[in-house]
Copies of this chain bind each other. A is one copy, B any other.
């Protein structure tokens, strides 16, 4: 079930760009900056959201700012007898697990985990491997964030800019 792909043009990209830079900006101000009619910006934005290119405008919570200063990537190997879904359900109950993917290669799952400290990370990992469906965990700690998560360059590239 491949997701429908939205082809963006330059205006779409500039809208996203503006919103990324100044999220509280509002449709009217955007239309002024981009020198197009308000209705146009509104229509484009509605289209982007309707097609799923933009998911929403939720608050971006920074884990390190609320006490979770340690970030790590953990590769999990799971027992064949347990399905991926069962393990996912287990992981979903642990708040420190921010995301999880099934992957190719030596491991089975890759997940992003935060913790309050290195010692706290041990606690979280113990909680993860405490589940019998998980055979072993391999932990990689992120030391520094060289490139914080971003999508702007991608949007520009996709719009042909």
Binding site for B on A (CB under 8 A): 2-8, 16, 19-20, 23-24, 48, 51-69, 71, 73, 84-85, 87-88, 91-92, 94-105, 107, 109-112, 114, 140-151, 153-158
Contact = CB atoms under 8 A, between A and B. Distances in A.
22 contacts: A7-B67, A20-B58, A20-B59, A23-B56, A24-B57, A48-B59, A51-B65, A53-B61, A54-B62, A55-B61, A56-B60, A63-B154, A73-B103, A84-B146, A87-B146, A96-B157, A101-B146, A102-B143, A102-B144, A103-B143, A109-B146, A111-B147
Nearest to A62: B55
Interface of A is mostly: mixed
B104 A143 contact: yes
A142 B96 CA distance: 20
A86 to B, nearest CB: 11
> How many copies of this chain?
2
B95 A154 contact: yes
